[in-house]
Amino acid sequence: MIVLAWVTLVVLASVWTLIWLVVEREESTQVTAGLGFTFWSTAALGARDLKAVSGGATVDVSSDLLAVVTLLPATLSALVVVAAHTGHYPPDETETPDRETPFGGD
């Protein structure tokens, strides 16, 4: 996989991961976390076969560390898909205790 394509996958995965972290609607959580998982896992699989093309020469820049680092958010996104499917994510507002903020809020 060429480095530019791999970076594009990581950017797309990051965007989808940020969407399911921020979006509160239950029906879109499974879709966005599922897409995040797909992009993260594809990036993890491609990290061990990265190639950079420079001036007509191909250089191997693969890394096992990149594969492990991208596998972690893939696992998190997969867990969110399972938790959303079983009804445990996102948490209901009734499950969150009302606490005062440390800055004197209501």
Which sequence spans correspond to the domains of the chain?
A: 3-94
Which of 35-39, 51-55, 66-70, 96-100 is the least confident region?
Answer: 96-100
Amino acid at 64: D
State the average pLDDT for the chain. Answer: 84
pLDDT at 24 over 90: no
Q: Is the pTM of this model over 0.75?
A: yes
DSSP, collapsed to helix, strand or coil, labels residue 61 as: coil
Q: Residue 105 has what pLDDT?
A: 55
Range with the largest mean pLDDT of 25-34, 50-59, 91-100: 50-59
- Report whether 54 contacts 34 (CB < 8 A): no
Q: Residue 10 has what pLDDT?
A: 94
